[in-house]
Amino acid sequence: MKIAVLGIGLMGFPMGRRLCEAGHTVHVWNRTLSKAQRLASAGAIVHALPTDAVRDADIVITLLDNGAIVGQVLFDMGVADAMPSSCLVVDMSSIKPAEARDHAARLNERHIAYLDAPVSGGTIGADNGTLAIMVGGKASSFERALPVLNVFGRATHVGPTGAGQLTKLANQMIVGATIGIVAEALLLCERGGAHMGKVKEAITGGFADSRILQVHGQRMVERDFTPRGRMAVQLKDLRNAMATAGEIGFDAPITALFEQLYAQGIEHGLADLDHSGLFVELASRNGMD
């Protein structure tokens, strides 16, 4: 298939490379052209304009920072008008469910199919093809996209348009809160005189074990906050969750607390750390930085 990938950032680069390795014809675009040019050696065709990248595409994948930028690229930059009506848009960005439904409606007016398909698993999952992919939209569109989605990991059709984004918000609520409590627990143990690495080892395999403990907990032990998923992105997702909760009349006090904690960390200069960098904010509050 001819596939266009719009957005070659932390996730777009390894995902674009996997498409090339799978034998697809891959056209790529990024606002900063040099980021897209990194995929040329993998066989991707690089474009300076997104409208050129999507011409005659079978599937267009968007991997952009937020819903406003997705809308800008699709509609203000002429991408929706440039792609054929037989095209399927798969938005793998993390945006608000309401934005996904709006984009789908505007594309459907042009007879273009749409799926919202955000992912979880970070750059490690993108590199290894083990991402969890949460897909909203028509079942027929999901079946059409499945051979491509399988290149990235495990895809699950969770409901109508917007349901993929809603599931991603649930994922990020759990991730954000779990990172916070793992950080707080490890710091408590360190303050009390225990060795953080040994604490993590001791509770591995018990009821408190989790992938967050293993991956992000290890980053905390090593004080390695090189960004794989940034604090700023985690905050964006929590704010999207709170906005969605407000729209549907749902009280989410736990998510609200962690939204505040991530916001305060970012106010203190931590925006570009990995989201496990909430550890740094909690350490600073306790004079342990």
Tokens of 66: 């937020």
Segment 207-228, tens digit of pLDDT: 999 999 999 999 999 999 999 8
Distance CA 98, CA 95 (A): 8
Average pLDDT over all residues of the chain:
96
pLDDT at 180 over 90: yes
Tokens of 13: 């680069």
pLDDT at 239 over 90: yes
Segment 92-111, tens digit of pLDDT: 999 999 999 999 999 999 99
pLDDT at 35 over 90: yes
Give residue 122's pLDDT band: very low, low, confident or very high (50, 70, 90).
confident
The answer to whether 168 is a known catalytic residue is yes
Question: Active site residue: 2, 35, 138, 168, which one?
Answer: 168
Region 232-259: what's the mean pLDDT?
A: 96
pLDDT at 289 over 90: no
pLDDT at residue 228, rounded to an integer: 86
251 burial class (0-12, 13-18, 19+ CB within 10 angstroms)? exposed
User: Which residues sit opposite 54 in a β-bridge?
Assistant: none
Residue given tokens 């932390």 in the structure block: 10
Region 276-280: what's the mean pLDDT?
A: 98
pLDDT at 278 over 90: yes
pLDDT at residue 229, rounded to an integer: 84
pLDDT at 266 over 90: yes
Region 152-167: what's the mean pLDDT?
A: 98
- Cβ(25)–Cβ(5) below 8 Å: no
